[in-house]
Chains A and B, each alone.
Chain A
Amino acid sequence: MMPIYNAPLLTIDRKETRRYAGLMTAKFDEQAIDAACEEARLLAEPHGIWNVYDYNSKTHMVQNEKPFEIKGSKITAHLNRAEQVIILAATVGETIEKAVTRHFSEGRYAYSVLLDAAATTAVEQIADTIEKAIQPQIGAKGYTMRWRFSPGYGDWGLDAQPEMLRLSDAQSIGISLTESLMLYPRKSITAIIGLVRENHETPIVHLPHDCTACDKTDCISRKK
């Protein structure tokens, strides 16, 4: 049975919400941002699930009855020293998505974008809390976590999604995949986290943990 953790959302990060809405540090109605974050908390149905697998960093294989090969130069470099990987999935459900659409259709365009951004922030926070929940177990074994990496980022293709869903058992928290490899509900993620231990033979490859690996240079949320 895969561990499930549906973390409480006691707050949603305003700064990240601003970033995802493309606001950066611009002056904007703070009450609207607050309201969007609070509505996102109200409507979110947070769910998270994960499992730990052995990983062969030479062959890039996630060990399983049906092994899963990780393809992509950036992701395999990022996992270069991992002995195990966590494969996780997280979602805030579809209710919030419906509210985004409803607000927009009723003419609250800006608010709708803020709510959408708050929902995105919420999914990432759910994933953060999952990492925190796993930390004690893996820390006791001497492992540390590399930052989480999702299909579609860098050159890791979306064709990894079916395997990511299978290995995280994302279906059991209500996440499915469309024919075009999109996660549904839309505010969902899958991700892989490499577990490494101190070992002085091979250095860890440190990819910059920011937006630089992403080709979408005109993204409104890109960190400068």
Chain B
Amino acid sequence: MIHIFDGAIGTMLQSAGLKPGACPELINIEQPEIIQAVHRAYVEAGAMILETNTFGASALKLAHYGLADRMAEINTAGVAAAKKAAQGKAKVAGSMGPTGRFIQPLGDLDFEEAYQTYYAQAKALAAAGADYIIIETSIDLQEMRAALLAAKAAASIPVICQLSYSEDNRTVTGTDPQTAAITLDALGADIIGVNCSLGPEQLVPIVKILADNTDKPISVQPNAGMPKFINGQTVFPMTPKDFARWTPALIEAGASYIGGCCGTTPKHIQAIAKAAQNCSEPPRKQSVPQLKLTSRSQTVAIDAALPTVWIGERINPTGRKKLAAEIKAGSLLSVKKEAIDQIKAGAALLDVNMGIAGINQAQAMKRAVTEIAQITAAPLVIDTSDAAALEAGLRAYPGRALINSVSAEPERLKTFLPLARKYGAAILCLPITAEGVPDTAEKRVDAVRSILEAAKNYGLKAGDFLLDGLVMTVAADEKACRETLRTLQLYRQEFGYPTTMGLSNISYGLPNRPLINSTFFAMCLAAGLDAPIINPYDEMMKNTLAAGAALLGKDPNGRSYSRMESNLKVPKQAAVAKPAAMDTLAAIKAAVIDGEKERIENLVSQAIDEGNDTNTITEKALTAAMNEIGIDFGAGRVFLPQVLLSAEAMRTAFLKIKELLPAQETAKLGTVVIATVKGDVHDLGKNIVAALLANSGFALIDLGKDIESSAIVSAALENQADIVGLCALMTTTMTQIDRVVQALKEAGSNAKVMVGGAAVTQEYADNAGADAYAPDGVAAVRLARQLIKKD
């Protein structure tokens, strides 16, 4: 059966005389007859489900009108109005809309406050007799999670979850329909759908993706097209006929609950009700249950038929004192760095372990999960033995996480499985029993079977399980490897669920552990390992995986493997150049121009061995290089970062010269005092100029940023500066240049003044009485030389 929802309420209220700026939900109490009339019109049009006029009736929204304390009353009246109009001919869905704020860390609303708000509203709606709760127009998966968890806790009626997608087919905070369907299905939504933002045509593909990723019924409530502004009014342009034309396509795509959102009227609903009469319920192909995990914006599937998935193990303070100390001190910087680096290295899931003695693990897990989710799209694995930490992590995570791990120990089953069910998490099944680690494959299969049975009793099902093969040390038990391999094979035969395990335990106590690990890894891949938990920086394991995938047919014709191998063979640029063939000074010059500081130290030593003194190396190689770079930069052939690489190479050269010939003082071209002027906190540009000058033979005194003119003057006098360099980035700060020029003159300084910075121009420099204007650092070097020569 196709269920027909109603259409928009807001537009009808406006035409019934609701004043702009008034609280639309207060009408439920003050003029219930208006609401009833709207509902009645929809019943007459053929609506089978009426949505209550309570979209904005959460305490958080009502607070805008000073009505938060009337929340229950307004929701109760909303349900009553709908029921009265329905007269038993239609069901009533209690509507809950967004709070209007983003949940932390995206915004400033605490998850628990959002939860409590929705809980109270859902409770009121259910108590008043609603048949469904409908959470709709949500643009953020995390807000939807808070509302859904609250609605499930507050009431035992079915919950409909509808997100809104933008034109890029993602919600505002980045969730795609597949990820939404998987996450909300697991979290217990009864009907999953989409409403608002787009018209029916654009929603067809979204409905299709939702239907392909959940067995739950799909609902859809499009707008009547995209809004236009005509004659002073916002209008949704689709006629009932145009709108209803999409009904068969929406049903075909998988929707069995259809209604309208903004701009739809009873006529639209009548038209779709009529169009739906000729449609039968959409054929929903039973999806093969696959283990799928999600973050806010991505889905990762683990399955024997799919490429091997890497679970990064590095976010774990066990045995890592520095990391543990940092987390204990409240910093997650290294944790976040590990997250970014592991994904870059190829991890698709990240294990998060906060097992440090003496800290509040629940708090640490919540924070880690929250912050990692802000910078990565990889789904997370909550790795803990502490039930409180597990719940904190699962609750905070805006996706479907994996729990690492659930063993066959009764206490673990009792505490972890209800949490997996409540938060829609998948579980890693670890075959450890109250008696310890089973030594044979058969006993491990038995242990896993008992975990699966218990899990199914809590409502978990196929697609929720990842089985651990359990790795013991081969040095202690020569059968360890073979039992693990047999375990993997038996898992596949007995259960067919995907498998995982940490590998490195196998080689404990043996020499050349990487060789043992990678060999073992290859065997496991052949035996059916789908998602190893590993250190993704381990190149040997990465290579083994690539070769293994080619051998096992997961990389057809070894294409990826071949590509990887050919990339490795690309010769590095440095290897192509032949410095040996060149004169050493010429080679130094070339290395500076190419910005190759790795090569320059040896070249400098070589030049000194050949009897060159400091000044020769500086003039013939370094300065000559800088001159050439300056010309190329001026001509637009090289760019700032390349110039800076050359400066880095020069710096390396000077440091080496100083190290090898400490007695030989490099002749200085002159002394420059440089500063960013008072009021200006930019210093990168000034730093660049200073670095280029210093590496071109000038003695540099860098005073820093935001420097008083008096400090600049005294530094110029004290150091007998030849040049004072002033940097000002903004129109508001460059007036300081005039002041410094004036003060230098008054103090009797003979220093030339060179100025620069984004807002400064030649004209401004001239008017301020500066001796030179440098548009960039390279020009500054050239001009500084000229200023010195003039003396």
A residues sitting closer than 8 Å to B (CB atoms) are 1, 3-10, 21-24, 26, 28, 34, 38, 41-42, 100-101, 104-105, 107-110, 112-114, 116, 132-133, 135-136, 139-143, 152, 157-158, 178-182, 184, 186, 197-199, 216, 218-220
Contacts and interface: CB of A to CB of B under 8 A. Distances in A.
A141 B227 contact: yes
Interface string B341-383: 1001000000000000000000000000000011111000000
Nearest to B164: A136
Contacts of A219: 758
17 contacts: A5-B102, A6-B105, A6-B374, A10-B376, A26-B638, A28-B642, A42-B340, A107-B652, A113-B640, A113-B684, A113-B688, A152-B730, A157-B731, A182-B679, A182-B730, A198-B228, A216-B759
Interface in B71-104: 100-102
Given A28-B641, A139-B226, A157-B731, 20 more contacts: A4-B102, A6-B102, A10-B377, A23-B641, A34-B344, A38-B341, A112-B644, A113-B640, A132-B172, A133-B172, A136-B166, A140-B262, A142-B228, A142-B234, A152-B731, A180-B680, A181-B732, A182-B680, A198-B229, A219-B758
Contacts of A113: 640-641, 644, 684, 688
Contacts of B684: 100-101, 104, 112-113, 116
Contacts of B235: 142
B285 to A, nearest CB: 32
B648 A42 contact: no
B681 A178 contact: yes
Nearest to B652: A107
A23 B680 contact: no
A9 B297 CA distance: 12
Given A142-B227, A180-B732, A109 B648 contact: yes
B404 to A, nearest CB: 24
A109 to B, nearest CB: 4
Nearest to B736: A180
Contacts, number: 166
A182 B736 CA distance: 14
A110 B644 contact: yes
Nearest to A200: B230
B567 to A, nearest CB: 13
Nearest to B398: A8
Main secondary structure of the interface of B (DSSP, over half): loop
Contact of B100 (A3, A105, A112, A216): A3
B683 A101 contact: yes
Contact of B641 (A22, A133, A184, A197): A22
B216 interface: no
A10 B641 contact: no
A131 B164 CA distance: 16
A109 B639 contact: no
A22 B732 CA distance: 24
List the 10 shortest-distance A-B pairs measured between CB atoms, nearest first.
A180-B679, A197-B229, A142-B234, A109-B644, A110-B644, A142-B229, A22-B640, A180-B732, A110-B641, A142-B227
Nearest to B139: A136
Nearest to A137: B100
Interface string B662-690: 00000000000000000111111001100
A129 to B, nearest CB: 8
Contacts of A5: 102, 106-107
B647 A109 contact: yes
B709 to A, nearest CB: 14
A218 B636 CA distance: 11
B645 interface: yes
Contacts of B645: 109-110
B307 interface: no
Nearest to B735: A180
Contacts of B139: 133, 136
B337 interface: yes
B174 interface: yes
Nearest to B731: A158
Contact of A42 (B105, B197, B337, B733): B337
